[in-house]
Structure 1
């Protein structure tokens, strides 16, 4: 029997390239909201709970949640070292809130046994803005984003106390007791925010990340 080979057209290749496969770490936290945002941005979201799933994605989002719980689950699911390895290899990643904490090279006010990934050269203070009752919203100027400020939702959020020399500061709090605190950064292919862009319906931060993945 003769089998005619299927040859991908240039259009097919372009469509595949423009729809990257982006994993969402699905161990704990606001996974569903990130999945929905990625779908609306034209990416292909995949839930990641195993090393084999991590190996198959182009990039990864680490969602908000409880950072110490997620770090323990990373160990329990044998994802900690594979994730560190992929970050060292240059895999794009985006962490929001707890995800920012996990991506830090140093974490303050956390448990001694908590693990972090050293994806960005920064020192992060956990729960820096206070407890759940101190959650708030504010508008932020965000470097690289047009069409006005970003509405940022902070829920038991961290902030960045030290950003390394290769870290680009993307946003700081404009006023109030936390004025000047760093709440969004980027180093190479890795992006992190103290706040939760996935809950507001504003897709600009996710589109920025998808564009970063495509460029990588």
Structure 2
């Protein structure tokens, strides 16, 4: 289980998160929702180790992540797919996937065939440069690269942003499959209520760096508070 307790995060003198608490259980999708600029990505970067909290704690499987570098978090089963994907445009699809090997023991330096079962388009484009892929294909590549780490915690920051509806459906099916296996916790950042409501087991909503609503995923679509906060 992931436990975030009373997290404060700042960029210099500008505070971005105020006392944020949340949990994420293995076998469940926890959605973090809110408009642009409310602190969602700041929270995800903190989970992944790219930002250091000013106060509060982050624990994964009962152990504090304080001072643990992003690379060590990756080795300990925490995979992060950032907003914007961060693939390498000049590397081929295959080479992009192989960059995950840096966090794996040499004995695991291979691309699991299941990656191609989840994302068949990648096998067809192995020798194409990442920068030549569509936005949706790049998103699939970024998720596939993260899955090569065999994570126990998968962090997805707005995986539907700027992506065509058909690929959004493909990504949704993959997330549902990973969730239903019961082997990983998934934290999903999303702006769109309908997509989140299809997947969420639990949710929190951020507004100006604070948690202003939280609950079960089954409550999300009917929540008037959620619709108001997300301007739907």
TM-score, normalised via structure 1 length: 0.30
By relative contact order (CA 8 Å, sep 6+), the higher-ranking structure is 2
More helix by share: 2
